[in-house]
Amino acid sequence: MPLLALLPPAGYVPDFITAPPRSPLDRIEDELERVRATAPEQVAKELDIFAWQHGNQLPATAAPLRRNPRREVPRLVETMALYWTRAVEPFWPRLLALLSADLRYRATRLTQGGPESLFDDLHPTVTLDGDWLRIDQPWQGTVELGGRGLLLVPMAFSWQRPVDHLGRAVAADAALPSARRGVAVGVSARSPSGAIRADRRDSCADPCRTRRAAVHD
């Protein structure tokens, strides 16, 4: 199954299958449609990156996806939809309640103590150092937000370590585990205001200025 083959326990995962939501009202159908609409050249590019970072070869089950993205991406989406129906949807109300609680918690910390308080207990590997958000990772890189800002997005399936997608052309994002609360929080550079915002999916969060984010080992 190519989906499992492209989700290793460590290392790069193709961005097109892990894109963050564009709206607080996104449905699973909306997100799967974005995967389906991924340009074939983007699929090929990201699969080449995956191969380069995993022994210079693709898993055999993922090779057809590289050869013919137009045919295979819809099949991949069907697999993702089936997985959602069987493994996630039955538990979604509980997951949503957990994620909503974490959003409220993060928004409260932001409004009461500013960005320092917000990032203080996210994870030992995540620190806010002036204008820089530093995430300790096995690789080194720097991302200039250029006024895009940081948008917090909760994630329920990445709680052990930060997981980043900071190379996106449009929006950088990273799953930042919250060790104290057992919930991962994603950081996505999507805000047009150039502000750090806690995305509570309502108007609770007060913006604070920032200019840059860095990832380093």
Question: Minimum mean pLDDT among 125-129, 171-175, 198-202: which range?
Answer: 198-202
Given a cut of 80, whether residue 214 has pLDDT beyond it is no
Amino acid at 30: D
pLDDT band at 130 (very low <50, low <70, confident <90, very high): confident
Residues 119 and 205 in one domain: yes
Where is the domain boundary, 75, 91, 107?
Answer: 91
Higher-confidence residue of 123 and 185: namely: 123
pLDDT on residue 207: 32
pLDDT on residue 210: 33
Domain range for 164 is: 93-216
Residues 109 and 52 in one domain: no
Higher-confidence residue of 136 and 5: namely: 5
Report phi then psi at 108, rounded to 5. Answer: -65, -45
Residues 67 and 147 in one domain: no
pLDDT on residue 178: 43
Residues 72 and 31 in one domain: yes
Where is the domain boundary, 57, 91, 125?
Answer: 91
pLDDT on residue 169: 42
Residues 165 and 79 in one domain: no
Strand ranges (DSSP E) for 26-170? 126-129, 132-136, 141-143, 150-155, 163-165
Residue pLDDT, tens place only, 86-96: 999 999 998 88
pLDDT on residue 189: 43
Higher-confidence residue of 188 and 161: namely: 161
Dig out the tokens for 46 from the structure: 């990201």
Residues 191 and 157 in one domain: yes
Residues 108 and 31 in one domain: no
pLDDT on residue 163: 59
pLDDT on residue 159: 65
Residues 122 and 193 in one domain: yes
Residues 207 and 109 in one domain: yes
Mean pLDDT over all residues of the chain?
74
Residues 8 and 105 in one domain: no
Count of structural domains, the chain = 2
- State percent of the chain over pLDDT 70: 68
Given a cut of 80, whether residue 101 has pLDDT beyond it is yes
Q: In b/e form, how buried is each residue of 44-70, taking b as 16+ CB within 10 angstroms?
A: eebbeebbeebeeebbeebbebbeebe
Where is the domain boundary, 51, 73, 91?
Answer: 91
Are 152 and 198 in contact by the 8 Å Cβ rule? The answer is: yes
Packing angle, helices 69-83 and 28-36, rounded to 10: 160
Residues 136 and 76 in one domain: no
Residue pLDDT, tens place only, 52-78: 988 898 999 999 999 999 999 999 999
Higher-confidence residue of 165 and 207: namely: 165
pLDDT on residue 166: 52
Higher-confidence residue of 146 and 182: namely: 146
